[in-house]
Amino acid sequence: MSTLAAAGDLRAAEAALEVAWEQLHSGPWHSVLPIWRDAYSMACLRVAGFSYAAGEFSEAIRVLDMGLIMGGLALRKDLESAIDKATAKASAVTVSDQGAEAQCRVVPREFNDAEVLPALPMKSLSSNIVSKRSALSMEEFLCDYFLSGCPVVISECMAHWPARTKWNDMDYLKRIAGYRTVPVEIVFYAVECLRDLKTGKVENILQIEELRKDILIPDYCFTGGGELKSLNAWFGPAGTVTPLHHDPHHNILAQVVGRKYVRLYRATLSEELYPYNESMLKNSSQVDLDSMDVNKFPKVHDLEFMDCILEEGEMLYIPPKWWHYVRSLTKSLSVSFWWSDSGSSEGS
């Protein structure tokens, strides 16, 4: 009798989860009522509880992570606490080293600069290479770059981050994040998996608290008296591309592991870069820099741009609305910090 009751409870929890999921996808994300996000979190907790009780710890973690990603804030601490318990149980399960390695084998395709850079149809590196400054002071950053709205590469500024050593160790990443589910963007090459991720560019792995502790918010992000808007980590193989787009906030892109090529165009060149007309895509260019149609987009070919190779341990400051294209030259782990200034009227 109790088994039948438990099965009925599970079906009810799964039905609630499905209803909440449908409501989350009933329109634009910003129009979803907060109560449905909280309802989704609650249903995730309930469904994950059944998986946990059945010893299906990986499945419980997957459901709980979905609650973190898609749910509201009201039950976030409960979700994180439940993930800690399920992760401890999952880690205690004996799995042979050979089996674990087979499941999460990393087969990176490495690219060198000669392979990657000539894929761009225009000159590269340009004569306008982004300035590089070592251990830039806050005053120098404010006066020379922030106020003038000019990009800069900052070196000698991340040596104290635990991530600088820890994130080079794939075994560490698999141990900390191997059971976790994180958002993924589909890109041009297969990504090395941490566990179940097969293709794409991993986004927002900093929902995992252990990895969040490995990085420090740069002091530069407090310039202008504003507030931190977003913090995301990006993990992908060589050849991973972020197409040409711009962001609404000040941005520090910190290169923790590997190297990236970055190309930037001034915000004033927006019309020449053919942004999409749709409101959801207006910050993205229609131009594919890797296979550019000069007949369709004639204004782009002769536009001035700045670019750089962002080396491991360096940060790149990207001013608001500056267009940028990014390509990983090696396996890459980086973190982006978005912040506003006190007088900003930037949109989201």
Residues 246 and 308 reside in one and the same domain: yes
Two tokens, residue 313: 């341990």
Contacts of 316 (CB under 8 A, 6+ apart): 130, 151, 152, 153, 154, 252, 253, 255, 262, 308, 310
Residues 133 and 83 reside in one and the same domain: no
| Highest mean pLDDT, choosing among 95-104, 182-191, 206-215, 243-252 | 243-252
Asked if the structure places residue 346 within a domain, the reply is no
Pair type for strands 315-318 and 323-328: unpaired
Residues 129 and 168 reside in one and the same domain: yes
Residues 280 and 321 reside in one and the same domain: yes
Mean pLDDT of 228-244: 88
Percent of residues, the chain, with pLDDT higher than 70 = 77
Q: What CATH number should be reported for the domain holding residue 288?
A: 2.60.120.650
pLDDT at 186: 45
Q: Does residue 56 have a pLDDT over 60?
A: yes
The residue with greater pLDDT, 252 or 2, is: 252
Residues 158 and 87 reside in one and the same domain: no
pLDDT at 206: 55
Q: Does residue 113 have a pLDDT over 80?
A: no
Asked if the structure places residue 5 within a domain, the reply is no
Residues 42 and 69 reside in one and the same domain: yes
Q: Does residue 289 have a pLDDT over 50?
A: yes
Pair type for strands 250-257 and 332-339: antiparallel
Residues 148 and 246 reside in one and the same domain: yes
Asked if the structure places residue 3 within a domain, the reply is no
**Total tally of structural domains belonging to the chain:** 2
The rounded distance, in Å, linking the Cα atoms of 149 and 169 is 36
Residues 73 and 140 reside in one and the same domain: no
Residue 126 pLDDT grade (very low, low, confident, very high; cuts 50, 70, 90) = low
CA distances from 108 to 57, 105, 133, 219, 332 (A): 29, 10, 31, 34, 11
Residue 136 pLDDT grade (very low, low, confident, very high; cuts 50, 70, 90) = very high
Look at the pTM and tell me if it is higher than 0.85. Answer: no
Each residue's pLDDT tens digit, 21-41: 999 888 777 788 899 999 999
Mean pLDDT of 100-118: 45
Residues 36 and 62 reside in one and the same domain: yes
Residues 68 and 121 reside in one and the same domain: no
Lowest mean pLDDT across 129-133, 229-233, 341-345:
341-345
Of 63, 95, 127, the last residue of a domain is 95
The residue with greater pLDDT, 3 or 298, is: 298
The residue with greater pLDDT, 132 or 91, is: 132
Asked if the structure places residue 330 within a domain, the reply is yes
Q: What does pLDDT average to over the chain?
A: 81
Residues 85 and 142 reside in one and the same domain: no
Query: How does 268-278 read in b/e, with b if 16+ C-beta sit within 10 Å?
Result: eebebbbbeee
Q: Does residue 149 have a pLDDT over 60?
A: yes
| Highest mean pLDDT, choosing among 118-122, 183-187, 326-330 | 326-330
Each residue's pLDDT tens digit, 241-265: 999 999 999 999 999 999 999 999 9
pLDDT at 3: 56
Q: Which amino acid is at 118?
A: P
Write the DSSP string, 80-119: HHHHHHHHHHHHHS---HHHHHHHT--------HHHHGGG
Asked if the structure places residue 22 within a domain, the reply is yes
Residues 252 and 301 reside in one and the same domain: yes
Of 95, 130, 152, the last residue of a domain is 95
Pair type for strands 306-310 and 332-339: unpaired
Asked if the structure places residue 141 within a domain, the reply is yes
pLDDT at 196: 37
Q: Which domain holds residue 191?
A: 113-341
Asked if the structure places residue 101 within a domain, the reply is no
Q: Which amino acid is at 270?
A: S
Lowest mean pLDDT across 63-77, 150-164, 188-202:
188-202
Mean pLDDT of 326-338: 93
pLDDT at 234: 86
